């Protein structure tokens, strides 16, 4: 390699490292905190002087965290499934069919994508109390799936549009019923898009904080992000710092797994809906 | 295989636009019929209506004697080759070709046998287990053909199947399709915008423009007896030359001189009650270098001299071009559409270029004056308003 | 040919004469409506109805501690909010945070996008790393920042002169809120811009190079104009998103020391003051602000809202 080439490589390596450090620094810090012994929590050093599993041990002892974790997983999964199913139906129609009112649907979902959630918190709070779904799973699933529907519809319709239209015609001429054309030709091609969308929607639901603290009042439906704000620590007198850090790391793990495994798909999904639109 | 009959087929879209208007066509058993025309002429819409991919607004479509207007593509038993090939990207070549049979619940052994038979005919045997993405353009095209032939359907429909191939491959596949069609004896309707493909492949050719059938006939008939300006200009390469003409006694005055009318032509014009202003159509091969014409024949044509702009030697022939200065752009929509379709409006050259095809031994040179001769017997005369060919003696019976 | 054949646009109103539609087109319409219906019903029921209900609530005196005393008071809640310095303070904080963070994100996002676009190795690694801030739960990141800047616990606070607690002073706290917001959302901006970059043809850039344009000129005279739609979409998305800022502020300062955004103000009125009427009035005002921003974007820049071209198909 020439000297100039080597200098270029070093330059890029440096730039890449800066980007990676930028992205990972806060994550590393919270991980470090979560492994700190309560006695060294306030030493301010970036790397724990003494490593301990105590904080993790602590949070899994309390139902406060485990209950919230179950709520988070359950609510996010159910919302994702419903949003993806409804979104797939609508996106198929948007990408494939001609019908009056399509622009209205697109406009409406765009509007909802821009909607400030706080504007819905007060009416939903009251409505949910009246019909008795306040502080329940369903009370969170409903706003989650609603707010992730636009994301699902955009991402999926972008994926659907890339499936060549002729294939469906070809399947029809080959003797397929519309249902067969969908099941044997369109669905296998759409599956990657649906999967990607599911990941994005799950991240969205997993992330929410505002609805989670507004529409719950007990641990019955409180998700982890909301529960963190109410953490009291493993014992009454301890600062909850270590526990919060450990809980924060636990709910970050699924995100890191998704990112590591499906980096390419997530990038494609995030950008397809917004740019190609 | 079966016969396809279109009776008064019309396609009207909800917004009122008419894509196809009153098409009447009968495709015989085993016949190879080409639908040709510039883009937007309604040829693909017609094909899609035959396939059942678009609804027929008016008219009756019969396949094998049965009215199939309301049948889904599934129940029409036809195979189609798409311009984009429409191969299923997630299936191997084998599964692509066997898909229709699988849907028809044919047993696995038969599917295998038929697919392998088709693969042998199309020379795809070693590619059977590959995915379409790993094939070349020509191979994909053959898979698309294979998918159609394994089914042994009532008819083949082909929608510009060669337009995605490069020029050389297109010529090869053209002959292969022709051979395959003869071998299988299949009723075939083939859509193309390329008049060369239409002329070389079809038993009969249907020329369409703006959703209306202009003429149906054998390639030879379309070439020699075009019914109107559009067909005359669309069929043939290089295209027919058109000149303004004024009728004077027994002659037509044009910018290349006065062209004598034969008795047959004169009678034909009289019968049609021809106007004074006319358009004359001359194919490039109607011209010849005057020095090379037999003394005996020279009287049957007109000799004139022009400045030659460009000479292109093809070896077997020579194309000599000259410019007709007095040409005013015509108001006829046919000529305007033809010009737009062939792109001559975009060349930016002044005047109106005339192409002549001369014998290879001609001595004409670029930039010099030459004596040319034109065979007036091969002249077509058109009504500039209606576009009708006034030289046809009687209605051609197809 | 299909392209030039007249295609029925779904934007045209349905023909009055239903017979003009063939059976197939009617079926297509029915299927289209049927497939969209569940999504439409859900979206309407969970957003349109509540926002109307919020307008209704905002016209009531409605204190959750005394629900029996609810009564119609017209626009007086709006009067109370708009004449309150808390609202204007929160609005200015929100606008400040929005403008500064979006501008910083745009610059930083462009830099990141260029790195990902041009880097000669490790592209996958960089992209993976950059997705972490996007994916991570905002609350988690906010806690990480909070602990980092809190004296005693934090490594970053230790870098400051001792006795400084940046999260307890208005301007430093707002700065840190912006930092947290920028860290979390720049990757999303970068990815949108990266997709836009990919749409700039390499040949056009070469042509500009041959025409004598330097690197900066190529960027500002060729790349940026060609990416305009992508930039506007990214800006629109991020502006509206930043305006709704809640999680970071809630964790970092809880809105203390005049750092609260309008969303925080609405939340506090609802859940701390338990005043549903005032809270709803704030909700409606925020909704109007967001609508105004979106409208301004689309009118001023002609931002092609994502999906708007979909209507043309």
CB C194 within 8 A of CB A271: yes
Q: How confident is the model at residue A47 (pLDDT cuts 50, 70, 90)?
A: confident
**CATH superfamily of domain region A62-276:** MetI-like (1.10.3720.10)
Question: pLDDT confidence of B391, banded at 50, 70, 90?
Answer: confident
CB B41 within 8 A of CB B211: yes
- What residues of B are in contact with residue A174 (Cβ under 8 Å)? 79, 99-100, 103, 147, 151
Q: Report the pLDDT value the prediction gives residue A138, as an integer from 0 to 100.
A: 93
* CA–CA separation, B62 and A65 (whole Å): 71
C1 vs B39: CB contact, 8 Å cut-off?
yes
Domain C84-312, classified CATH 3.30.420.40, yes or no: no
Cβ–Cβ under 8 Å, residues B241 and B355: yes
Residue C305 has a pLDDT of 47
Strand order in the sheet with B32-36: B78-81, B155-159, B188-192, B32-36, B204-209, B212-217
Please compute the mean of the pLDDT values over residues C19-31 and round it to a whole number: 69
- What are φ and ψ of residue B198, in 5° steps? -60, -45
Interchain contact, A170 vs B82, CB within 8 Å: yes
pLDDT tier at A118 (50, 70, 90 boundaries)? confident
8 A C-beta contact, residue C77 and residue C93 = no
Cβ contacts of C141 on chain A, cutoff 8 Å: 26-27
Q: Which two tokens stand for residue A47?
A: 């790397």
Domain B236-382 has CATH 3.40.50.1370: no
**C191-239: per-residue pLDDT in tens?**
889 888 888 888 888 888 888 888 888 888 888 888 888 888 888 888 9
Interface test with A, best of B90, B91, B106 (most A CBs within 10 A): B90
With H, G, I as helix, E, B as strand and everything else as coil, classify residue B303. Answer: strand
**β-bridge partners, C72:** C60
User: Tell me: the pLDDT tens digits for B176-202?
Assistant: 899 989 888 889 999 999 999 999 999
How far, in Å, CA of A227 to CA of A143, rounded? 18
Name the DSSP class of B315: S
- Checking if the pLDDT of C306 tops 70, the result is no
The CATH superfamily of B4-229 is P-loop containing nucleotide triphosphate hydrolases (3.40.50.300)
Confidence band (pLDDT; 50, 70, 90) for B23?
Answer: very high
pLDDT in tens, B36-91: 999 889 999 999 999 988 889 999 999 999 999 988 888 888 999 999 888 998 89
CA atoms within 13 A on the CB side of C250: 25
- Chains A and C: how many Cβ contacts under 8 Å? 334
Mean of the pLDDT values across residues A210-235? 84
Residue C125 with chain A: CB contacts under 8 Å: 16, 20
| Distance in angstroms (rounded) separating the CA atoms of residues C269 and C21 | 54
Nearest CA in chain A to B98: A174
pLDDT at C10 exceeding the cut of 60: no
B385, B310 contact by CB (below 8 A): no
Domain ranges of chain A: 62-276
Looking at per-residue pLDDT, the higher value among A234 and A194 belongs to A194
Inter-chain CB proximity B39 and C4 less than 8 Å = yes
Return the minimum-mean-pLDDT range out of A227-231, C19-23, C94-98, C191-195. Answer: C19-23
Residue A238 pLDDT exceeds 90: no
Task: Give the Cα-Cα-Cα angle A169, A174, A176 (nearest 5 degrees).
Answer: 80
Map out the domains of chain B as residue ranges: 4-229, 236-382
Enter the tokens of residue B373: 């001769």
pLDDT score of C5 more than 70: no
- Which of C3, C6, C9 to mutate against chain B (most B CBs within 10 Å)? C6
Which residues in chain A are closer than 8 Å to C12, comparing Cβ atoms?
Answer: 100
Residues C140-188: pLDDT tens digits? 999 999 888 887 777 777 777 766 777 888 888 999 999 999 999 999 8
Q: Alpha helix (H) ranges present in chain C?
A: 23-43, 49-58, 76-82, 85-118, 123-135, 138-149, 170-198, 202-210, 215-217, 224-226, 228-243, 247-252, 262-271, 276-301
Q: Do A119 and C51 touch (CB under 8 A)?
A: yes
Number of H helices and number of E strands within chain B?
11, 20
**All structural domains of chain C with their residue ranges:** 20-58, 84-312
Interface residue B13 vs chain C (CB under 8 A): yes
Look at C240 and A118 and tell me if their CB atoms are within 8 Å. no
Lowest mean pLDDT among A214-223, B156-165, C13-22: C13-22
Task: Count interface pairs A-B at CB distance under 8 A.
Answer: 58
Q: Taking all residues of chain A, what is their mean pLDDT, rounded to a whole number?
A: 86
Q: Is C19 at the interface with chain B, CB within 8 A?
A: no
Q: Which of C26, C25, C22 is nearest to B57 (CA)?
A: C22
The answer to whether A173 contacts B84, with C-beta atoms less than 8 Å apart, is no
pLDDT by residue (tens digit) across B195-234? 999 999 999 999 999 999 999 999 999 999 999 989 998 9
pLDDT for the residue B213: 95
Residue A181 distance to chain C (closest CA, Å): 15
Interface test with C, best of B14, B19, B53 (most C CBs within 10 A): B14
Separation between Cα atoms, residue B65 and residue B55, nearest integer Å: 19
Give me the pLDDT at residue A211, please. 93
Nearest CA-CA distance, residue B4 and chain C, Å? 22
Residue A126's nearest CA partner among A47, A14, A215, A28 is A215
pLDDT of residue B347 exceeding 50: no
How close does chain B come to A84, measured CA to CA in Å? 22
Average pLDDT over residues B156-167: 91
Query: From the candidates A208, A275, A276, which should be mutated to test the interface with C, based on the most C CB atoms within 10 A?
Result: A275
Q: What is the tens place of the pLDDT at every residue in B271-280?
A: 888 888 888 9
Question: For residue range B104-115, what is the model confidence (pLDDT) as tens digits?
Answer: 899 999 999 999
- Residue reference for tokens 């036809």: B78
Contact in structure between C98 and C235 (CB atoms under 8 Å) = no
Mean pLDDT, rounded, of chain B: 88
Residue position matching structure tokens 């599934």: B74
Instruction: Name the percent of chain B lying above pLDDT 70.
Output: 93
Pairing of strands C71-72, B369-375: unpaired
What mean pLDDT comes out for the span B344-371? 78
Is residue C96 over pLDDT 50? yes
Residues C259-267 have a mean pLDDT of 91
Cα–Cα distance between B389 and B233 in angstroms, integer?
12
Tell me the C-alpha distance between A82 and B47, whole Å: 41
Determine the Cα–Cα distance for residues B103 and B97; give it in Å rounded to an integer.
Answer: 12
Q: Which of B19, B56, B70 is nearest residue C6 as measured by Cβ atoms?
A: B19
| pLDDT score at B260 | 85
| Gyration radius of chain C's alpha carbons | 25
Contact B2, B61 (CB under 8 A): no
Q: Is the pLDDT of residue A134 over 80?
A: yes
Nearest to A270 by CA among C113, B261, B165: C113
pLDDT in tens, A183-211: 888 888 888 889 989 999 999 999 999 99
Q: What angle do CA C4, C10, C14 make, to 5 degrees?
A: 115
Give the model confidence (pLDDT) of A19-40 as tens digits.
888 888 889 988 988 888 877 7
pLDDT attached to residue B301? 85
Averaged pLDDT score across all residues of chain C: 82
Please indicate whether, in this complex, the C-beta atoms of B82 and A174 are within 8 angstroms of each other.
no
- pLDDT tens-digit profile of B224-261? 999 998 999 899 888 898 888 888 878 888 888 888 88
Chains that touch C (3 or more CB pairs under 8 A): A, B
Tens-digit pLDDT profile for residues C242-262: 999 999 999 998 888 888 899
């Amino acid at each position: 390699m020439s000297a100039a080439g080597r200098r270029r490589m070093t330059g890029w390596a440096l730039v890449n490292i800066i980007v990676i450090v930028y992205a990972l620094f806060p994550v590393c810090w919270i991980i470090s905190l979560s492994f700190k012994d309560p006695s060294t929590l306030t030493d301010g050093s970036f790397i724990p002087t003494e490593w301990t599993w105590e904080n993790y041990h602590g949070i899994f002892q309390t139902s406060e965290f485990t209950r919230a974790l179950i709520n988070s997983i359950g609510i996010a999964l159910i919302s994702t499934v419903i949003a993806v199913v409804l979104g797939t139906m609508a996106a198929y129609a948007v990408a494939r069919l001609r019908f009056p009112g399509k622009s209205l649907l697109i406009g409406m979902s765009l509007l909802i994508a821009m909607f400030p959630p706080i504007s819905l918190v007060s009416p939903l709070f009251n409505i949910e109390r009246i019909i008795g779904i306040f502080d329940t799973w369903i009370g969170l699933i409903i706003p989650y799936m609603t707010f992730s529907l636009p994301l699902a519809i955009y991402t999926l319709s972008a994926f659907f549009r890339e499936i060549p239209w002729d294939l469906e015609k070809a399947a029809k001429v080959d003797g397929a019923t519309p249902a067969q054309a969908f099941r044997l030709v369109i669905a296998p091609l759409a599956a990657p898009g649906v999967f990607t969308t599911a990941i994005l929607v799950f991240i969205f639901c997993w992330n929410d904080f505002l609805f989670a603290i507004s529409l719950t009042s007990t641990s019955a439906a409180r998700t982890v992000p909301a529960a963190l704000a109410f953490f009291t620590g493993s014992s009454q007198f301890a600062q909850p710092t270590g526990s919060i850090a450990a809980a924060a790391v636990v709910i970050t793990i699924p995100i890191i797994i998704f990112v590591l495994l499906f980096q390419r798909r997530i990038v494609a999904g995030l950008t397809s809906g917004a740019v190609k639109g | 295989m079966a016969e396809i009959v279109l009776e008064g087929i019309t396609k009207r879209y909800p917004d009122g636009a008419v894509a196809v208007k009153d098409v009447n066509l009968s495709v015989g058993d085993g016949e190879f019929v080409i639908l040709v025309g510039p883009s937007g002429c309604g040829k693909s819409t017609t094909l899609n209506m035959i396939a059942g991919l678009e609804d027929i607004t008016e008219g009756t479509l019969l396949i094998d004697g049965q009215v199939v207007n309301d049948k889904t593509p599934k129940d029409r038993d036809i195979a189609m080759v798409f311009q984009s090939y429409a191969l299923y990207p997630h299936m191997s070549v084998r599964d692509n070709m066997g898909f229709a049979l699988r849907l028809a619940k044919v047993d696995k052994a038969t599917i295998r046998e038929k697919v392998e038979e088709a693969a042998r005919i199309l020379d795809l045997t070693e590619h059977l287990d590959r995915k379409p993405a790993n094939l070349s353009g020509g191979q994909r095209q053959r898979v698309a053909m294979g998918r159609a032939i394994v089914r042994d359907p009532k008819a083949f429909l082909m929608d510009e199947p060669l337009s995605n191939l490069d020029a050389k491959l297109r010529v090869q596949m053209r002959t292969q399709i022709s051979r395959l069609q003869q071998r299988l004896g299949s009723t075939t309707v083939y859509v193309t915008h390329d008049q060369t493909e239409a002329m070389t492949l079809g038993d009969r050719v249907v020329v369409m423009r703006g959703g209306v059938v202009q003429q149906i006939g054998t390639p030879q008939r379309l070439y020699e007896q075009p019914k109107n300006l559009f067909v005359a200009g669309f069929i043939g390469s290089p295209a027919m030359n058109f000149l303004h003409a004024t009728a004077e006694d027994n002659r037509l005055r044009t910018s290349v001189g006065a062209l004598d009318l034969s008795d047959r032509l004169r009678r034909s014009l009289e019968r049609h009650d021809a106007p004074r202003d006319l358009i004359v159509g001359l194919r490039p091969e109607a011209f010849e270098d005057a020095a090379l014409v037999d003394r005996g024949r020279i009287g049957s044509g007109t000799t004139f001299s022009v400045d030659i702009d460009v000479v292109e030697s093809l070896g077997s022939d020579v194309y000599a071009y000259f410019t007709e200065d007095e040409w005013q752009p015509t108001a006829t929509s046919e000529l305007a559409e033809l010009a737009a379709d062939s792109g001559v409006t975009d060349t930016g050259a002044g005047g109106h270029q005339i192409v002549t095809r001369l014998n290879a031994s001609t001595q004409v040179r670029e930039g010099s004056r030459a004596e040319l001769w034109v065979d007036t017997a091969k002249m077509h005369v058109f009504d500039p308003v209606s576009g009708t060919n006034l030289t046809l003696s009687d209605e051609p019976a197809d | 040919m299909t392209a030039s054949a007249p295609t029925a646009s779904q934007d045209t109103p349905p023909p009055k004469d239903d017979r003009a539609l063939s059976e197939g087109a009617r079926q297509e319409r029915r299927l289209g409506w049927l497939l969209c219906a569940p999504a439409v019903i859900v979206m309407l029921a969970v957003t349109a109805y509540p926002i109307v209900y919020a307008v209704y609530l905002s016209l009531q005196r409605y204190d959750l501690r005394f629900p029996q005393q609810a009564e119609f008071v017209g626009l007086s809640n709006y009067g109370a909010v708009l004449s309150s310095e808390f609202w204007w303070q929160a609005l200015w904080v929100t606008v400040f945070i929005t403008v500064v963070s979006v501008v910083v994100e745009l610059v930083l996002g462009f830099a990141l996008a260029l790195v990902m676009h041009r880097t000669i190795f490790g592209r996958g690694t960089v992209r993976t790393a950059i997705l972490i801030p996007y994916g991570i739960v905002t609350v988690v990141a906010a806690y990480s920042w909070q602990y980092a800047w809190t004296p005693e616990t934090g490594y970053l606070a230790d870098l400051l002169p001792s006795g400084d607690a940046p999260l307890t002073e208005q301007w430093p706290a707002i700065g840190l809120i912006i930092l947290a917001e920028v860290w979390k959302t720049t990757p999303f901006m970068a990815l949108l811009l990266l997709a836009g970059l990919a749409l700039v043809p390499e040949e056009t850039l070469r042509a500009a190079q041959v025409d004598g344009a330097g690197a900066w000129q190529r960027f500002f005279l060729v790349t940026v104009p060609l990416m305009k739609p992508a930039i506007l979409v990214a800006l629109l998305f991020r502006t509206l998103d930043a305006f709704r800022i809640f999680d970071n502020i809630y964790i970092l300062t809880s809105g203390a020391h005049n750092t609260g955004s309008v969303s925080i103000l609405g939340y506090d009125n609802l859940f701390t003051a338990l005043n549903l009427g005032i809270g709803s009035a704030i909700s409606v005002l925020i909704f109007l602000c967001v609508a105004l921003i979106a409208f301004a974007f689309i009118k001023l820049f002609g931002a092609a809202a994502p999906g708007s071209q979909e209507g043309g198909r």
